[in-house]
A and B are shown apart, each in its own frame.
Chain A
Amino acid sequence: KQEVTQIPAALSVPEGENLVLNCSFTDSAIYNLQWFRQDPGKGLTSLLLIQSSQREQTSGRLNASLDKSSGRSTLYIAASQPGDSATYLCAVRRIQGAQKLVFGQGTRLTINP
C-alpha cells in the first residue's frame, strides 16, 4: 500500500527566506507526483506536476524535484512571502492504470512579515 509522508507538519519562517518542504513515498512505482497548495476553507490549487521520467519542474519561485528511486520529492520556495502562507500537500499517482491520488498529510507553512 502506498504511503505518503510530509515533514515537517508545520513550519514558520521569516519573510524572505528560502525553504524546503519534504515529501516521501513508500512505493517507487509512481506515474507522477503533484504538489498542491490549500488555503484555509478552500480547495486545492495545483502548483507543479512531475512525471516519473522527470527530475524537476519549476514555476516562478517554486522548484520541485523528484528522486523516484529513493521515494522522495522536495518543494523549494525561494524568497518566501507572507502570501505563501498555506498548507502544502504532495500527492502521488501510483501507476498509469490507477487514477487515484494518494496524499500526504500536508505541511502548514507560515511566513512571518
Chain B
Amino acid sequence: GAGVSQSPRYKVAKRGQDVALRCDPISGHVSLFWYQQALGQGPEFLTYFQNEAQLDKSGLPSDRFFAERPEGSVSTLKIQRTQQEDSAVYLCASSLAVKAQGNTYEQYFGPGTRLTVT
C-alpha cells in the first residue's frame, strides 16, 4: 500500500484481557517503530526493529508488552493482562534505513490504534 496501515483502528478490551495490534509498514522500509500516545501528550517510544531484529525495546513499560516482526515486514504489538493505564493510541512508523535524498531517516506514521481498557 501507499502508507503505513494499522489494525484494528479501535479496540476496547476488558481489564485483564490480552490484545494484539498489527502494523503493516511501507513496502521496502527496513525500520519499524512503535510509539504510545496518551491523551493530550506527545508520542513516546516503545520499541524499534531493523528487519526482524528488535534493536531497542527500552521504551516498553512492562513485561506485559511484547513486540515481534518475524519476517521483517508486518509487526505485532501484544499487550497481556491489559490494565486501565494501557489505554492510549498506539502508533506505528516505518522508515528506510539508508540515506535517501530528501528523506533522510524520515519516519512515516500510520493512523494508530486507539486502545480503551475498561
Contact = CB atoms under 8 A, between A and B. Distances in A.
Interface of A: 4, 6, 31-32, 34, 36, 41-46, 49, 51, 89, 91, 93, 98-106
A49 to B, nearest CB: 5
Chain A binding surface, main DSSP class: strand
25 contacts: A4-B42, A6-B42, A32-B105, A34-B106, A42-B111, A42-B112, A43-B110, A44-B93, A46-B109, A49-B103, A49-B104, A51-B104, A91-B42, A93-B105, A99-B48, A99-B50, A99-B56, A99-B95, A100-B59, A101-B33, A103-B43, A103-B44, A105-B41, A105-B42, A106-B41
A99 B42 contact: no
B108 interface: yes
A99 B93 CA distance: 11
A100 B95 CA distance: 11
Contacts of B91: 43-44
Given A43-B112, A44-B91, A99-B56, A104 B42 contact: yes
B95 to A, nearest CB: 8
Contacts of A6: 42
A105 B35 CA distance: 13
B1 interface: no
A113 B106 CA distance: 33
With a 10 A CB-CB cut-off, give which of A36, A46, A100, A104 has the most chain B CB atoms.
A100
Contacts of A100: 33, 45, 48, 56, 59
B31 A99 contact: yes
B107 interface: yes
A45 B42 CA distance: 14
A100 B58 CA distance: 10
A106 B31 CA distance: 25
Interface string B1-38: 00010000000000000000000000000010101000
